[in-house]
Structure 1
Amino acid sequence: MGVGFSKKRKHESVNNASPDSSPPPKLTYKQPRTKHPLPPPQFPQLPKPIQNLHKGPILGKPYVDINTMYEIKRELGRGTFGITYLCVEKATGREYACKSIPREKMDNNPTEVMILQHLSGQHNIVELKAAYEDRKKVHLVMELCSGGELFHRIVAKGKYSEREAATIMRQILNVVHVCHFMGVMHRDIRPENFLFATNQQNAALKLADFGSSVFIHQGKVYKDIVGNEYFVAPEVLKRSYGKEIDVWNAGVILYTLLSGVTPFSADTDKGMVDATLRGKLDMDSEPWPSISDAAKDLVRKMLTYDPKERITASGALEYPWLKEAAEASDKSPESAVLIRMKQFKTMNNMKKLALKVIAESLSEEESKGLKHMFNNMDTDRSGAITFEELKSGLSTLGSPLSESEIRQLMDAADINKNGTIDYCEFITATMDRYKLEKEGNLFEAFQYFDKDNNGYVTRDELRQAITEYQMGNEAAIDEILEDVDPDIDGRISYQDFVTMMRSKC
């Protein structure tokens, strides 16, 4: 029966640059069915040119004709929510994948876009370059992965050796752990949604397609049916589940990698549901007698029927078999959280204060993932992150640093210099760059400095702002003006300010 999947397969949304010379195997997967609150944003009155732009209901940004910037090439794949195309950026000639989603399929809910933005910069997750909206569709321009799906490699290869399976599984579990730490439940972890960055045998895996994903609400019980019948966790079928379903999905992948077949299968939908609800694992048939007890033990822990007893992604990553069998890289990639904190450390004080103003105005919806990250760091629930908590949190994300490096990050994020990082300071230092694309956010931050509302920030206004937080002296002000004031006229225009805020440093 091959790899244990059924004989038909509906097309899924993929990001796959390799045209197949022959059709892929026909396999059917069921499509998915359908403590520190921030104040709501009080946006200032915007300039008339900004007010008059027609904005889309999904992204809240002006409409854009994507064809003016990208040449849309061949179709790469299609799924429940949209079609993915190969596209070429006209200005640079670089290739990307563009997922085009009809607006009505997003139900005026930009969750997939917000999640991709929130996770931006994280290794093993397909990177979102930009998001655009026109009057009919939302277009997500993403990193192009040319190595194809993990699904196709499993079909071609059959079962994997323990070392090969562990190497793949370590990447899968790492991305599940990071998603959970950053407050995201994927809800559709399966081989089709993992893409290889290149055609190389040891290419990095990238998780894609966050169309079923949600931000995690602490204590919420999820009830909607999601995922695929071969991978769905039993608690999803019972309509009462949480983030533990992602680990079950990953456990099904591990079982398949080691044995060449999926653990639960039947000829009918009802049979599949019944098999999953029984949750009985076959570890007696070939090739299981020749597979190590340690590998089988991890499979059992990941496919534990009771989600409360199931191993977590972080726990699985520490499991001895996975650590010993996986081909360890020389250096683990840095987490998105660490990358953002390092970038924040190098920013000038004006930009740091502007980011704080933006952080204070974020809506609850915009700060969901950030709040979850903060709570994961603030282990004693004191409302502030200590040095030891920051050290532990970064270590959990696979970012080992020296104490002096952590101290530097701590000092940069601790804007009020009280020795800890409060909630607002944390999201100031770790928010994704896409928050800076919103004109309203930038204009409100500019107004914080422009006290007389004349359209410019003067030296005196800059001094007043950074003195309030004891963030610099005259030399620091000179440095800011030198960096941000290209006209050398001693004042910073709104456009100068926007350019500074959207720069990487």
Structure 2
Amino acid sequence: MRRVSYVVPVIAWCRTDKDQRLRCQDFGGFHRFRTASGPDGEKQKLSQRLIQHTDFVYRCLSNGQQLEDVFTIGKELGLGAFGTIYLAQHKVLGPGFKFAVKKIRKSETDSKLQELLMNEIHALMDLDHPNVVKLVRYFDEGSYMYLVFELCEGPDLQTRLEQEGRVEEKEAATTMRQMLAALKCCHEHYMGHFDVKPENFIYRSTDMTKLKMIDLGLASRFKKSRKEIRGTSAYMAPEIYDGFFGPEADSWGCGAVFFNLLTGKPFFPPMMGDDDIKILAKDRKWVRNRLRVLRDSGLSKEAIDLVSRLMRHDRHLRLTAREALQHPFFTLHSEKEAAEALRKHNPEYAELDREAQEILDNLVEHFTDFAAQPVLIRAAVLLMAHVGAYSFKHARPQRAAFTKLDRTVSGGLSMEELESFYEESGTPVPEMLETAFSGVDLDDDGYITYIEFLSATLPRKARGDRNFCRRVFEILDRNRDGFIDASDLAQAFYSGKDEKGVCSESLAEICDGQLSWKDFFELMQKS
């Protein structure tokens, strides 16, 4: 089925501005010390805000370089929603750092196409989750935009379905859990994907254990007054045709994918046209009859119930991504059971699990050490994690450790989750856990994000890698004079203004005003 576009009056699911101020993640400040007060306390708070993640990282990486200054472009990997995807090799970091680059021609005449492109960029900048493909950086060059992503080397879900057909319930549970986790992350940022289909989920590697959501070009915030509805008809919820556009539409798409996984057949006849699919999608009797196929497929009652509740016509009765993850189907086929099966039958995974557990056994020490570093060193480590931790092979245990802790699959860890982890493992909760947690919860919102966790636990092999350190030094050395000084930091952190001399004071923590490459590298090796 092709993507289709419908122009309709839209009534959108939304939150009030007041709710958004209360509930959306605050990106205005980095780490606000609860005990800081007075002029010194204010400067301390400002210095922590230097490394507020989303703005800081992407601003640092937008330093006037061209794509070919940083990457060697290789073979074509395929076609995305709005452009061609190529393999790219980082010129400085070496053969272990490969990425996927999406080349997109900018439209000078089609404002809608340009809007969709910027939607994808902004959506990916906001989302930080193990099941969402990571946007590392982007380049705006002339007639083209280049988006640099972590490289996913496995097949997409559609290819797997074409090759294998129907999958067992246990495997379907693992797949659906990851899809729903990615969508839950979107929805908690007041954003929908709105093009849920097998082609838009790809495996991180050929072992097909980690699934990633891609192509967020159609993603948008939940708000009123959308004029144009886009999606793929075979997975579009019936209310979309009438202008109701909310998170429940993604749930319907998940239900259609789940039906395909469990039966090996698409929900709608494969050769049917878009207009005919629209008629059937709005036909409650036809949908109910189609769902009866599940009862004749030897599936568990839990599987049948989950698909049925994801594909209810009444969107208010349809399960949300969060609710679906709590469904008895995922209790019947637990994540713990799937992990145990992997450990038993896959020696490589068993070793990875052991390494991840070792990180968790020393978690407080990792957090405390990270929090004790000077602001500039933490900024450098954060940049390292952003550029490499999503794909660096030596960071696989760190990624696995985060997944073990993230019981709510939200992409963020709370104190309650960490305490539950210790209690369930029969280990006393460390006395210093809350203090250590605060040192890594850089924006002080009560959650340690995926990037914060990867930064705090980044392996020494990465922190001390000469090429990696050199690359980060060059990013921070904005005027490229061979030294990092206050003016460089002001450009990186504050777009050119050293607010209240904070950049100078932060630099004074570790040097006398100028930091050379040699001294920077020595500091990184010691960190």
TM class by shorter chain equals 0.5 to 0.7
Alpha-carbon spacing, 1:393–1:296, altered in 2? closer, same or farther (3 Å): closer
CA deviation profile, 1:4-25 (whole Å, cap 9, x unmatched): xxxxxxxxxxxxxxxxxxxxxx
State TM-score, norm by structure 1.
0.62
Distance 1:350 1:139 in 2: 31
Give a deviation string over 1:294-349, Cα, whole Å, max 9, x none.
Answer: 11101111111111111111111111112222453368999xxx99x969972657
Rounded to whole Å, the distance in 2 between the matches of 1:445 and 1:245 is 43
Aligned equivalent of 2:435: 408
Partner residue, 2:371: 346
1:259 to 2:259 alignment: no
Q: Give ranges in structure 2 of 5+ residues lacking alignment.
A: 8-17, 30-58, 108-112, 341-352, 381-404, 420-428, 453-471, 479-488
Percent identical residues = 24
Select 2:326's aligned residue among 318, 330, 335.
318
Cα distance change of structure 1 residues 75 and 39 upon mapping to structure 2, 3 Å threshold: closer
Change (3 A) 1:196 1:397: closer
CA distance in 1, matches of 2:101, 2:152: 12
Verify the 8 A CA contact 1:63 1:133 in the aligned structure 2.
no
| Post-superposition offset of 1:64 | 3.7
- Provide the C-alpha distance between the structure 1 equivalents of 2:164 and 2:232, rounded to a whole number of angstroms: 22
- Once residues 260 and 39 of structure 1 are traced to their aligned partners in structure 2, the CA distance between those partners, rounded to angstroms, is 43
State the partner residue of 2:46. Answer: none
Structure 1 partner of 2:217: 211
Q: Distance in 2 between matches of 1:393 and 1:101?
A: 37
Equivalent in the alignment of 1:299: 307
In proportion to residue count, which structure has more helix? 2
Question: What's the offset of the Cα at 1:354?
Answer: 10
| Residues matched between the structures, number | 382
* Contact 1:126 1:207 survives alignment (8 Å): yes
**Larger relative contact order (C-alpha < 8 A, sep ≥ 6)?**
2
Does the Cα contact within 8 Å between 1:160 and 1:260 map onto a contact in 2? yes
Deviations 1:341-372 (A, max 9, x none): 969972657569999xxxxxxxxxxxxxxxxx
Residue 193 of structure 1, aligned match among 176, 189, 200: 200
Matched, 1:309 2:317: yes
Task: Find the counterpart in structure 2 of residue 226 from structure 1.
Answer: 230
Distance in 2 separating the partners of 1:406 and 1:179: 29
Matching residue's letter, 1:78: L
Tell me the distance in 1 between the aligned counterparts of 2:123 and 2:447: 18
Amino acid at match of 2:504: V
Q: Distance in 2 between matches of 1:59 and 1:441?
A: 5
Query: CA, structure 1 residues 450+95, in 2 after alignment: closer, same or farther (shift >3 Å)?
Result: same
Query: In 2, Cα distance between the equivalents of 1:288 and 1:405?
Result: 55
Deviations 1:193-227 (A, max 9, x none): 11111222x4211111111112345xx47553121
Q: How does 1:25-424 map to 2 (within 5 A)?
A: 28-31=1-4, 35=18, 36=21, 61=62, 63-91=64-92, 92-93=94-95, 94-104=97-107, 105-107=113-115, 110-120=118-128, 122-200=129-207, 202-217=208-223, 220=224, 222=226, 224-265=228-269, 267-279=272-284, 280-281=287-288, 282-285=290-293, 288-328=296-336, 329=339, 346=371, 348=373, 350=375, 399=413, 400-402=417-419, 407-408=434-435, 411-412=438-439
> CA offset at residue 143 of structure 1?
1.4
In 1, the alpha carbon distance for the partners of 2:326 and 2:447 equals 31
Give the secondary-structure state (helix, strand or coil) at the position aligned to 2:137. strand
How far residue 440 of structure 1 moved from its aligned partner, in angstroms, is: 5.1
Structure 1: distance between partners of 2:376 and 2:90:
30
Q: Give distance in 2, aligned partners of 1:84 and 1:244.
A: 30
In structure 2, C-alpha distance between the alignment counterparts of 1:138 and 1:246, rounded to whole Å: 28
The 1-side partners of 2:255 and 2:89 are apart by: 37
For 2:275 and 2:369, how far apart are their aligned partners in 1? Answer: 53
Tell me how far 1:117 sits from its aligned partner: 2.0
- The C-alpha deviation readout for 1:373-417, integer Å capped at 9, x for no partner, is xxxxxxxxxxxxxxxxxx9997865742026576236644899xx
More deviation, 140-149/405-414 = 405-414
Match of 1:3?
none
C-alpha distance in structure 1 between counterparts of 2:189 and 2:211, whole Å: 19
Q: How far apart are the structure 2 equivalents of 1:114 and 1:348? A: 30
